[in-house]
Structure 1
Amino acid sequence: MSGNFTRSVLRLLVRLTLKPVLGPSVPVRMQRRLLKAAGIATRVPREVKVTPRMLGAAPGETLQLEGAAAQGAAILFLHGGGYCVGSLDSHRPLSATLAKASGLTVFALDYRLAPEHPYPAALNDAVAAYRTLLDEGHERIFLAGDSAGGGLALATALSLRDAGLPAPPALLLISPWTDLGCSGATMVSHAAHDPMLSQPGLQRWAAAYVGRVPTDHPLCSPLFADLRGLSPILIQSGSDEVLLDDTLRIEKALQQAKVPVTLQVYPGLWHDFHLQAGVMREADEAIGKLAAFAVEILTAAPAPRRRRAV
């Protein structure tokens, strides 16, 4: 499906189904069940094999294109959902399409969710998963994520940097949530345009995740972090989303920190439209650009030499 008609229909469906569900009045556990059911009903590329596995102490899955050659590079994918909802099921079309488009193995992480597990549970799970992949011999591990998963990918990269661990070759971010204080101007100016998210719904999730730490904690809201030394970053966003200002401000902050950053804003599209992968042409094309960016990074930089065991 493609074209303006398909996009209009999908936009309406998102507004009628997701926006009411993701609002502040719906219990988190019900949100999780509804999103899981929606994810199961979506399309996953047949060419991609999905295998459950553990990543550190958290469950996850491996998504690999059938017949793809084994290689040292991989992608660690962190799903969105405001740190409170979302799952492997809800985001499998996105992660599987990324595996198909890039030819790389994608490891999707089912990190712990708030409010049962507030910060730093999700971050600890992400860092542990990255360490596990390093220990398994993956020499170049991209960090990718959408929405809250995009913010978590940034926080993970910061934690890896501060711990002296090997850096990802690049970060692939989709509509990253970078300010849990929800102070961006587009929270208000785009409220009527965004068919998916609302400021009150985001504020409830943020409060559940941060727990006792302030919303501007740099590992909760990377917008306020010292971003120096991070790897190249590709950011994609829709022009109509309330989180657009999070994207624009983090781009400016990265530029000020001398981090190579590329921003792609898609006119007339909404938050995390990539979730419509396999159904909407624009979603597949955007994921294809994320994949091409990763492949270009790998082509430009030779694999690091492994140290011999002493």
Structure 2
Amino acid sequence: MPSQAMSAYNEEVRRTRRALLNSDYDPVEMRHMLAGLEAVGPGPDIRQLGEATLELRRAEGSALLVYVPGGGFCFPGGDSHRSLLDRVSDAAAMRGALLQYRLAPEHPFPAAHEDVAHALRVVLAEESGPVFVMCDSAAGALVLCACALLKREGHRLPDRLVCMSALTDLAMTGRSNVSNAEADPMFGPQAVMHKIFHYLQGANPAQASVSPFWDEPIALPDTLFIVGSTEVMRDDTLRYASKTETAGTTVKVLIYEEAPHVFALIPGLPETDQVVAEIATFLGKA
């Protein structure tokens, strides 16, 4: 059962924000509006990696945790992503860095895919210690496609991956897009479709370079998948996890009952504290 705090959060989101989140808003206008609410916290370094930027949040530790935020391809990582990164990297006693990439609709596919692949290629080549990658939502497609590409190129891969509410099939063929359309407290399928439309701008979603689900099964580093049972994108996690496991990936899947999309970003929930501990433990086993 979800905690009382999570149930209350779900009801509040459904009542006050779901209609807006599922409307046909202009992502650029929305981004500008939200920018005024964000304030970058202390960070010792911001580094340019091609078109991407890497914001170092925690400087102590031999291992590095790179967090690639989702945002539906249209929104950058914000204060909630920084807070989660800080919590996980502190709990796991490793350095933390937030990776930002070009955004749609100004920069359509393959911009974000290329930025993430290039940045990870550089970071993995430079780092001598363990490198872990954490991602959420749309960034699941970016990170998993990047890892498949790096493996085929013969480059080093991250030591472990953490994928929260990952989008893996931009063609949206998973059954949960229909079965959870009303149960998801935050997003209906139209909200996911809206972001995909602004990013792909006509590109075929059912190709391996776009959607990791449509790639051939490929063995990747040990991966922790986290998803809510009522998410419209639930099957993006379950179907991809099953597919990559058949190729030899060691997979752990955590399904949180009635948890909203990327609930780890929501402060004050018992489930958030629990999942931060789960992630830190998973990374610490490498």
Structure 1 residue 270 and structure 2 residue 260: aligned?
yes
Q: Measure the CA separation in 2 of the matches of 1:87 and 1:21.
A: 20
Q: Which residue type is aligned with residue 47 of structure 2?
A: M
Q: Measure the CA separation in 1 of the matches of 2:46 and 2:138.
A: 23
Matches within 5 A, 1:146-295: 146-276=136-266, 278-295=267-284
Unaligned regions of 5+ residues in structure 2, if any?
none
Q: Which residue type is aligned with residue 231 of structure 1?
A: P
Contact 2:134 2:163 in 1 (8 A): yes
Normalised to the residue count of structure 2, the TM-score between the two structures is 0.91
Q: Percent identity?
A: 29
Deviation (angstroms), 1:34: 4.9
Q: Could you tell me which of 34, 48, 59 is aligned with 2:53?
A: 59
Q: Which residue type is aligned with residue 227 of structure 1?
A: P
Q: Are residues 226 and 173 of structure 1, via their aligned partners in 2, closer, same or farther at CA, if it must alter by over 3 Å?
A: same
Q: Could you tell me which of 107, 118, 125 is aligned with 2:108?
A: 118
Deviation (angstroms), 1:19: 2.4
Q: Which residue type is aligned with residue 6 of structure 1?
A: A
Deviation (angstroms), 1:88: 3.5
Normalised to the residue count of structure 1, the TM-score between the two structures is 0.84
Q: Measure the CA separation in 2 of the matches of 1:168 and 1:134.
A: 7
Contact 1:39 1:92 in 2 (8 A): no
Give per-residue Cα distances to partners, 1:93-138, cap 9 Å, x unaligned: 2222221221111211111111111122112211222233235434
Structure 1 residue 140 and structure 2 residue 134: aligned?
no
Give per-residue Cα distances to partners, 1:182-228, cap 9 Å, x unaligned: 12111111111111112112112112222342101213211111232
Contact 2:102 2:111 in 1 (8 A): yes
Deviation (angstroms), 1:242: 0.5
Q: Measure the CA separation in 2 of the matches of 1:99 and 1:153.
A: 19
Q: Measure the CA separation in 2 of the matches of 1:90 and 1:18.
A: 17
Q: Which residue type is aligned with residue 32 of structure 1?
A: R
Q: Which residue type is aligned with residue 26 of structure 2?
A: P
Deviation (angstroms), 1:40: 4.9
- How many residues align? The count is 284
Q: Which residue type is aligned with residue 56 of structure 1?
A: L
User: What residue is the counterpart of 1:87 in the other structure?
Assistant: 77
Q: Secondary structure at the match of 2:88?
A: helix
Q: Measure the CA separation in 2 of the matches of 1:265 and 1:80.
A: 19
Q: Which residue type is aligned with residue 64 of structure 1?
A: R
Deviation (angstroms), 1:150: 1.8
Q: Which residue type is aligned with residue 97 of structure 1?
A: R
Deviation (angstroms), 1:177: 0.3
Q: Secondary structure at the match of 1:50?
A: coil
Structure 1 residue 14 and structure 2 residue 3: aligned?
no
